[in-house]
Amino acid sequence: MPSRFAESRSRISDLTLDEAFQTAKKLFEDLSFGYATDWKSEQQNRRIVGFLPIYVPREILHALDMLPVGLFGAGDKIPVVRGDAYFQSYICHLPRTVIEMALNDSLKDFDAFLFPAICDVIRNLSGIFQLTYKDKLVRFLDFPQNFQSAVGGVFYRHELERLAADLGALNGKSLSTDALNHSIGLYNQNRALLKDLSNFRSSYPHKLSAADHYLILRAGQVMTVEHHNAYVERILELLPSVEAIEADKIRVVVSGSFCEQPPLGLIRTVENAGCYIVDDDFQLGLKWTEGDIPDKTEDPVGALVNAYLNNSTFSSAVYDGDNPKEISLERQVREHRADGVIFCAPSFCDPALLDRPILEKAMERKHIRHIGFQYHENLGQFHVVKEQAGTFADMIKLWD
Partner 1 sequence: MSVQKENSMVKQKQMLADHFMALSEAPMTGRKVCYTFVPGNLTELITAFDMLPVYPEINSLQSGMRQRSRDFIREAEDAGYSEDVCSYVKCDIGMMLQGNIGPTDQQLPPPDLLLLSYTGCFVFMKWFENLRHLYPKAEIAMLHIPYQADGKVEPSAIEYIKEQLRTEVIPKFEKVAGRKIDDAVLAQCMNRSAMAEDLLINVFESARHRPSPIDAYFGGVYYIGPIFTSFRGSQACVEYYEELWKEVQERVALKLGPITPDGTFTEKYRLVVEGPPNWTNFRDFWKLFYEHGAVFVGSTYTRVGGVYDYGFRHSAEDPLKSLAEYCMGCYTNRNLPQRIDLIEKFIKDCDADGLVINSIKSCNSFSAGQLAMMRDIEERRGIPVGFIETDLVDPRYYSYSNIKNRLDSFFQMLEQRKELVGKAVLVS
Is the peptide bond between 54 and the residue preceding it cis, with omega within 30 degrees of 0?
yes
Residue from 81, 151, 165, 247 touching partner 1 (CB under 8 A): that is 151
* Closer residue to partner 1, CB minimum distance, 41 or 145: 145
What secondary structure letter does DSSP report for 152?
Answer: I
DSSP secondary structure string, 213-247?
HHHHHHHTTTS-HHHHHHHHHHHHHHGGG---PPP
Binding region for partner 1 (CB under 8 A) out of 40-48, 85-93, 307-315, 378-386: 85-93
Question: Does the footprint of partner 1 cover residue 152 (CB under 8 A)?
Answer: yes
Q: What angle do CA 29, 84, 34 make, to 5 degrees?
A: 25
Question: Does the footprint of partner 1 cover residue 206 (CB under 8 A)?
Answer: no
Residue from 306, 316, 332, 378 touching partner 1 (CB under 8 A): that is 316
The CB-of-237 to partner 1 minimum distance in angstroms stands at 43
Rounded Cα–Cα distance for residues 55 and 258 (Å): 10
Residue from 158, 337, 365, 397 touching partner 1 (CB under 8 A): that is 158
Phi and psi at residue 120, in whole multiples of 5°? -70, -30
Give residues 108-137 in contact with partner 1 (rule: CB under 8 A). Answer: 115, 117-121, 123-128, 130-132
Question: Does the footprint of partner 1 cover residue 349 (CB under 8 A)?
Answer: yes
* Closer residue to partner 1, CB minimum distance, 134 or 296: 134
Give residues 13-32 in contact with partner 1 (rule: CB under 8 A). Answer: none
The CB-of-76 to partner 1 minimum distance in angstroms stands at 20
DSSP secondary structure string, 248-287?
S-EEEEEES-SSSPPPHHHHHHHHHTTEEEEEE-TTGGGG
The DSSP H or E segment spanning 35 is helix 34-41
Binding region for partner 1 (CB under 8 A) out of 40-48, 153-161, 170-178, 243-251: 153-161
The CB-of-331 to partner 1 minimum distance in angstroms stands at 18
Task: Report the candidate in 267, 261, 262, 191 with the shortest Cα–Cα distance to residue 232.
Answer: 191
Residue from 43, 90, 135, 398 touching partner 1 (CB under 8 A): that is 90
What secondary structure letter does DSSP report for 210?
Answer: H
Question: Does the footprint of partner 1 cover residue 395 (CB under 8 A)?
Answer: no
Residue from 13, 321, 381, 399 touching partner 1 (CB under 8 A): that is 321
Residue from 7, 195, 319, 394 touching partner 1 (CB under 8 A): that is 319
The CB-of-354 to partner 1 minimum distance in angstroms stands at 4
Buried b (16+ CB within 10 A) or exposed e, 77-109: ebebeebeebbeeebbbbbbbbbbbbebebbeb
- CA distances 115 to 56, 189, 280, 316, 327, Å, are 9, 25, 23, 16, 28
Rounded Cα–Cα distance for residues 184 and 303 (Å): 9
Spatial contact of 287 and 315, defined as CB atoms under 8 Å apart: no
Question: Does the footprint of partner 1 cover residue 370 (CB under 8 A)?
Answer: no
Residue from 25, 347, 390, 395 touching partner 1 (CB under 8 A): that is 347
Question: Does the footprint of partner 1 cover residue 351 (CB under 8 A)?
Answer: yes
CA–chain centroid gap for 1, Å, is 32
Residues of the shown chain interacting with partner 1 in the complex, contacts defined by CB under 8 A: 85-88, 90-91, 95, 115, 117-121, 123-128, 130-132, 139-140, 142, 144-146, 148, 150-152, 154-155, 158-159, 162, 316, 319-321, 347-351, 353-358, 360-361, 374
